[in-house]
Amino acid sequence: MSAFLNAAVATATAVDPACAEPLPVLGRDVTVPLVTGGEVTYAALDYAASAPALQRVWDDVAAYAPYYGSVHRGAGYLSQLSTDLFEQSRATVAEFLDCRATDQVIFTRSTTDSLNLLAAVLPADCQVFVFETEHHASLLPWTNAQVTYLNAPRTPDEAVATLERALADREPLGSPLLERSRELGEGPALVCVTGASNVTGELWPVKELAAAAHAHGARIVLDAAQLAPHHPVSVQDLDVDWVAFSGHKLYAPFGSGVLAGRADWLQQAEPYLAGGGASRKVARREDGGVDVEWHTTAARHEAGSPNVIGVYSIASACRALTEAGFDSLVARERHLIAKVREGLAEVPAVRVLSLFGDDAPRVGVISFVVDGWNSSHFAAALSAEYGIGVRDGLFCAHPLVRTLLGSEPRTQGECGAPEAAPGERSLNAIRVSFGAGTPDEHVDRFVRAVKELVADGAKWQYRTEEGRCVPAV
């Protein structure tokens, strides 16, 4: 087992989960109606899509809201306060990620936005290497580069070996800087890899993949969207060049994300967005044109009025998770993972999806299929009859899910479509995901509901409406 995965297991077993309580989150007392009558407290088990906001984050934002003001360049007190809070948030995120002193922290809208930003600043002739197992956010942005898509590995060691072979075989593309860049352990090549799968929850050998990338003169960006909410992420320990994640998966609403890492490619490229804030000086030329001097700081790629509330919510979440202690959070989550996996294992009709096998370390993300059930139908019944919110479909990771379900990875499909087109198989899965705010009762109810649905069937009739399975009225 890799050093990264070994560390994850060691951390996860360091604390007694019975001593840890779920962190307070918004919506924990919300009740929802059941089609069979009555109401029940909603069991939010779709953390991998959007985690509920931590109560601490909501309280921090509410306390700041009356002092909201424009960020940067404002002379007024509220503007100055908001600017300080914005930049302090940048420092908090850098500390949360254990960034290098020379790294830049850029605030974006999401992981998808962060990776598209990085794709926009790649040097000319940059080659990109990405596994087909990635979320679409990290699979698709590299349209202006030469992309090598790597087949799904079946073990962490195979992932490292696959990447090493691909990097060893890459051609120079005529770049005079390539040999020197290999000596420096830098581009023009980029590896993009997830830290934890949004489909299987399995942890990837990030540190080993980073070492392989650097040994062949490539850089590496870590998609930490599913990793950062569950495990500590150290840029320096993992030795990654960039890391990207989203606030809405880190218990922080309001639509902000982060791209943090090496500054040189970011400083050398044209701004991701052109406009106010990104420009340091703008002047008319005699020929009627405009000369622009762009910032070399993070502001270069943060044009426009920033989402200060979203940024502050990320910083608040970073502080809250750090103060709660990842040892405790990881141990409790592994306790919940064991409950789900043991419960599902008692149902022969259920098949859990996995790349690396049952013993692979993972975060609280588990996908499965149920014999005799369309996944959309099963998810609809969990919601309507038990008040449990899960996700069904292909989870914006079509090639991976189709590979795990035994379909040709390049086959096109619609996320969550309950019915296949004529002549095609209906391919979708169910994903249950949880985290720091999940109480045991939600997981217990989910396991009980799966067993009852498989044994007794749904109590209600369902129909297809606009591509989804919904209760029939």
**Residue 245: in which H helix or E strand, if any?**
strand 242-246
Concerning whether 318 is annotated as a catalytic residue, the answer is: no
- Contact between 186 and 152 under an 8 Å Cβ cutoff? The reply is no
3-state secondary structure 282-309: EEECCCCCEEEEECCCHHHHCCCCCCHH
Amino acid at 459: K
Supply 388's token pair.
């449990």
- Contact between 390 and 379 under an 8 Å Cβ cutoff? The reply is yes
Other Cβ atoms closer than 10 A to 457: 11
Task: Give backbone dihedrals phi and psi of 204, rounded to 5 degrees, phi first.
Answer: -100, 155
- Contact between 317 and 2 under an 8 Å Cβ cutoff? The reply is no
Question: Of the residues 126, 192, 396, 469, which is catalytic?
Answer: 396
**Residue 383: in which H helix or E strand, if any?**
helix 375-386
Cis peptide before 188 (omega within 30 of 0): yes
- Contact between 373 and 351 under an 8 Å Cβ cutoff? The reply is no
For tokens 């009740």, name the residue: 31
Helix, strand, coil shares, percent, the chain, to 5:
40, 20, 45
Letter string b/e over residues 289-311, b meaning 16 or more CB atoms within 10 A of that residue's CB:
eeeeebbeebbbbbbeebbbbbb
Separation of alpha carbons 444 and 424, rounded Å: 35
- Beta bridge partners of residue 203, listed in sequence order: 196
Taking each continuous run of H as one helix and of E as one strand, the counts in the chain are: 15, 19
Q: Which of 331, 341, 330, 363 lies closest to 446 in space, CA to CA?
A: 341
**408: exposed, middle or buried (Cβ count in 10 Å: 0-12, 13-18, 19+):** exposed
For the annotated catalytic residues, the residue numbers are 396
